[in-house]
Amino acid sequence: MSNVIDIKVRGYHLDLFRHVNNARYLEFLEEGRWSFLESRGALELLERGHYSFVAVNININYRRAAGMGEVLQIDTSMKKIGNRSCIMHQLITLKGTDTVVADADVTFVIVDTRSEKAVVLEGDLRAAMERMMG
């Protein structure tokens, strides 16, 4: 099950070449991940368990430049759950079209905020991650 948000490209998103700068896409993707986690109630779970969500790898493909005034849709879904890490897949398209602007796979771990170590995904925590796959 995925979560979709819209972001309208504003002037401050643009670089010298008048298109969205590659680094700005990382912020768009992060906004999509926060929305995904909020929509699944995961932020409360993380806080109650003294956990934090930490991106450890982002593999992004830039497919098309986005410009001023365009509305981008960021579609975020859980792709894979491992023993200590998970992968979210994110797709950025122009709203109302099949035009892909960028896509990314984001690997993350759940860190125990008390020990500052990545935890094994087991028990209730793993069950919560698996519910996000659906």
Task: Write out pLDDT tens, residues 123-132.
Answer: 988 998 898 8
Catalytic residue at 105?
no
- Residue 124: per-residue pLDDT: 87
d(CA 52, CA 29): 18
Rounded to a whole number of angstroms, the distance between the first and last alpha carbons of the chain is: 5
In single-letter form, the type of residue at position 77 comes to S
**Is-contact 106 44, C-beta < 8 A?**
no
Cα dihedral: 9, 10, 13, 16 (round 10): 110
pLDDT by residue (tens digit) across 51-110?
A: 999 999 999 999 999 999 999 999 999 999 999 999 999 999 999 999 999 999 999 999
State the residue range of the domain holding 129.
3-133
Which helix (DSSP H) or strand (DSSP E) does residue 12 occupy? none
Buried/exposed code over 15-30 (b: 16+ C-beta within 10 A; e: otherwise): eeeebbeeebbbebbe
Q: What is the pLDDT of residue 54?
A: 95
* pLDDT bracket for residue 41 (50, 70, 90): confident
Written as six digits, the tokens of 24 are 């700005």
Give the pLDDT confidence score for residue 56 in this predicted structure: 97
Segment 31-41 shows an average pLDDT of: 93
Closest by Cα among 50, 34, 54, 75 to 125: 50
Structural domain total, the chain:
1
The catalytic residue among 15, 75, 112, 124 is: 15
15 has a pLDDT exceeding 90: no
Residue 47 has pLDDT above 90, yes or no: no
Considering the chain, what is the average pLDDT of its residues?
A: 94
Task: Provide the CATH number for the domain around residue 74.
Answer: 3.10.129.10
* pLDDT value for 61: 97
> Model pTM?
0.93
CA angle, residues 113, 33, 12, in degrees to nearest 5: 110
